[in-house]
Amino acid sequence: MPLHFTTAAMSALALLGMGLTGGAAAQTTDAGAPSAQGDVSVTIYNDNLALVQDVRQLNIANGISRIEFPDVSAQIRPETLSFSAPGAAIIEQNFDYDLLSPSKLMEKAVGQVVTIVRTNPATGAETREQAKVLAVNGGVVLQIGSRIEVLRDDGLPVRVIFDKVPANLRARPTLSVRVNSDRAGTRPASIRYLTPGLGWSADYVALFDAGKGTVDVQGWVTLTNDSGTTYSNANTLLVAGSVGQNAQPSYNRRMISPRPAPSRTLVSPGTETSGREQLGDFYLYPLAARTTIASNQTKQVSFLDVQGVPAQAGYEYANGWLASSDEAQSANSVVRFSTSASGGLGDALPAGTIRFYQRDASGSPQFTGENQLDHTPMGSQLSLSTGKAFDVKVQPVVEQRQKLSDTRWRTTMRYELTNARPDAVTIDLVQQGLDFAWADTRVAAESLKSERRNADAVVWHVPVPANGRTTVTATFETRY
């Protein structure tokens, strides 16, 4: 039984006009008609890639036959298709993308006879003639009887009617296999392929309560389907992690750095293992129920809901080397919490956007900033900047630069930290750029004990009283 109408069958039905039977209509495979998909499973990776498995009940004839697969992803990577059905051996797999269009139709008619219908512009009367298409090169040259004419040379209306749609021209790209079956009959056949156009990330809603020092976090996985196809009633599995796609030819492939970028929000990576299912190093997030992922749809499903995680607000200001400012600059507001099982969220977090909300005086949650989260192992310490503080500011000033010798310089820095809030705050003041090129910088003197974070940066934890100010001075010595 053919999966599609054959052209002849279609023409016959069309000519019969009303003779369509229910069984035949059920086989059209486009919108408004049932999908040809069977039992679909979709595994979606973060980086715009999905593995689709589809088990269809196919009636395969005995011997050699050709099977088409409608309703696969419109962006399928056809070379990744694998097909298996009991008792059927594959001879070849084909992906045909010669698409039907008016010009293709005319080009394929070269040497063949078509019907032309002329309409008399004065009376509207129609005359029909048989014409042979001689050539289609910039224009259409016809032979009508013994005359040679160019189609619509006089600009008058001429309908061209072709007998049939040429073989191998299709409305959409078509995937097919040729198989040799040892028996006839319906059996489950499974196809599996990779497709771009499906991706997912996480979106978090974090309601921060500064008074109680807690944060409530809801996590949603966000699926996007731009693959051009609807996956009906699919068993969906999300994989948190990146599978390298270096080999994939793509026009809009993002630059892939040779090593992953270091995380800016992860203070210390965790060492705990979440109770979630893992595959290799990837965490798996299966959706609880089957779902239909419609074309052009963004779907969100909840995966995390944790209340009352301890969290602290803080401030951070990072100054570049020799950066000086003639007015105070806002410090970053930072929210810190842990993903540990004890005193934290207690889960591994897939990468995504985390949006912070705080309640206003009337109790309504208001948006207070967002940040990006990397894939975060359980047990990590997170420090997420939510924006710039209106009332907490830092003015860095280069007081003096002294040349001690040809290879030694002394830099005197002053930092004015101000706090217009009615409560005391602590600002993490970071001076960066201590390790550039061949230079080597150390702190010679300072008004407050610093902590050398790494070769490049020192940090002071500076307490600033309510509605007050604190000054930090430091002298750096640099050797070249």
Partner 1 sequence: MKPRFWLALMALMGATPSMARAQPVVLSEAPLSSSVTVYRDDNRQQGRFNIGWLRGYALISEKRRISLPAGEAVVRFEGVADGMIAVSAVVTGLPGGVEEKNRDARLLSPASLLDGSLGNRVHIRRTDRVTGRTSETDAILRSGPDDGVVLETPDGVEALRCSGLPERLVYDGVPEGLSARPSFSIHTRSPQATEVEVTLTYLATGFDWGASYVATIAEDGRTLDLFAWLTVANGNGNGATFPSAHLLAVAGKPSRTSDFDALVARGSSPMLRLSCWPMGSTSTGGAPPAPPPPPPPAPMAAAAPMELAVTARRMDKAMYDAVAVQEDLGDLKLYRVPVPVDVVPNGQKQVAMIQRENVPFTTFYAGRLEPGDPGDASRPLVRTLRMQNKEQDGLGLPLPSGGLAVMRQRGGDELLLADTAMKDRAIGEKVEIAAGFSDQVRLTQTLLRDGDKEKRYRLVLSNATAGKAAAEIALPRLDGYDLKAMGMKDKDGGKAWLVAVPAHGEARLEIVYRRQ
Q: Does 96 bind partner 1 (CB under 8 A)?
A: no
Whole-angstrom Cα distance, residue 198 to residue 407? 57
Q: Does 262 bind partner 1 (CB under 8 A)?
A: no
Q: Where is 12: in which H helix or E strand?
A: helix 7-16
Q: Which residue has the tokens 């705080």?
A: 358
Which residue among 2, 63, 86, 157 contacts partner 1 (CB under 8 A)? 157
Residue range at the interface with partner 1 (CB under 8 A); choices 16-24, 84-92, 178-186, 442-450:
16-24
Q: 78 Cβ partners below 8 Å, 6+ apart?
A: 93, 95, 175, 193
Residue range at the interface with partner 1 (CB under 8 A); choices 269-277, 287-295, 375-383, 432-440:
287-295
Whole-angstrom Cα distance, residue 354 to residue 372? 6
- Least distance (Å) between residue 369 CB and partner 1: 3
Q: Which residue has the tokens 């998909």?
A: 37
From residue 191, give the alpha-carbon distance in Å to each of 5, 125, 194, 294.
22, 54, 11, 20
Q: Which is nearer to partner 1, 82 or 467 (CB)?
A: 467
Q: How far is CA 94 from the centre of its chain?
A: 28
Considering only residues 400 to 459 of the shown chain, the ones binding partner 1 according to CB under 8 A are: 400-403, 414, 416, 418, 420-421
Would you tell me how many other CB atoms lie within 10 Å of the CB of residue 19?
Answer: 10
Considering only residues 44 to 73 of the shown chain, the ones binding partner 1 according to CB under 8 A are: none
Which residue among 41, 242, 292, 312 contacts partner 1 (CB under 8 A)? 292
For residues 267 and 382, the answer to whether their CB atoms sit within 8 Å is yes
176, two tokens: 């097919």
Q: Does 143 bind partner 1 (CB under 8 A)?
A: no
Residue range at the interface with partner 1 (CB under 8 A); choices 90-98, 164-172, 187-195, 271-279:
164-172
Q: Does 466 bind partner 1 (CB under 8 A)?
A: no
Q: Which of 107, 109, 101 is nearest to 163 (CA)?
A: 109
Considering only residues 189 to 228 of the shown chain, the ones binding partner 1 according to CB under 8 A are: 203, 205, 208, 210, 218, 220, 222
Q: 293 Cβ partners below 8 Å, 6+ apart?
A: 42, 198, 223, 225, 230, 231, 234, 236, 299
3-class DSSP state for residue 203?
Answer: strand
Q: Which is nearer to partner 1, 240 or 354 (CB)?
A: 354
- Least distance (Å) between residue 409 CB and partner 1: 8
Considering only residues 165 to 184 of the shown chain, the ones binding partner 1 according to CB under 8 A are: 165, 169, 171-172
Q: Which residue has the tokens 């809009």?
A: 252
Whole-angstrom Cα distance, residue 49 to residue 63? 36
Q: Does 18 bind partner 1 (CB under 8 A)?
A: yes
Burial of 235 (0-12, 13-18, 19+ CB in 10 A): middle
For residues 317 and 214, the answer to whether their CB atoms sit within 8 Å is no
Which residue among 9, 20, 243, 445 contacts partner 1 (CB under 8 A)? 20
314, two tokens: 């803080």
First to last CA, the chain: 82
Q: Does 286 bind partner 1 (CB under 8 A)?
A: no
Considering only residues 301 to 320 of the shown chain, the ones binding partner 1 according to CB under 8 A are: 301-302, 313
Q: Which residue has the tokens 């139709």?
A: 105
Q: Does 255 bind partner 1 (CB under 8 A)?
A: no
Which residue among 96, 107, 446, 456 contacts partner 1 (CB under 8 A)? 107
Which residue among 9, 14, 167, 267 contacts partner 1 (CB under 8 A)? 14
- Least distance (Å) between residue 168 CB and partner 1: 13
Q: Does 342 bind partner 1 (CB under 8 A)?
A: no
Considering only residues 360 to 379 of the shown chain, the ones binding partner 1 according to CB under 8 A are: 360-362, 364-372
DSSP string across 348-363? -B-SEEEEEEEE-TTS
86, two tokens: 């009991």
Q: Which is nearer to partner 1, 147 or 449 (CB)?
A: 147
Q: Does 95 bind partner 1 (CB under 8 A)?
A: no
Residue at 189: amino acid letter: A
Q: Does 86 bind partner 1 (CB under 8 A)?
A: no
347, two tokens: 């889960």
3-class DSSP state for residue 23?
Answer: helix
Residue range at the interface with partner 1 (CB under 8 A); choices 244-252, 274-282, 300-308, 427-435:
300-308
Q: Does 102 bind partner 1 (CB under 8 A)?
A: yes
Which residue among 32, 244, 249, 363 contacts partner 1 (CB under 8 A)? 32
Residue range at the interface with partner 1 (CB under 8 A); choices 21-29, 51-59, 338-346, 375-383:
21-29
Which residue among 8, 79, 123, 251 contacts partner 1 (CB under 8 A)? 123
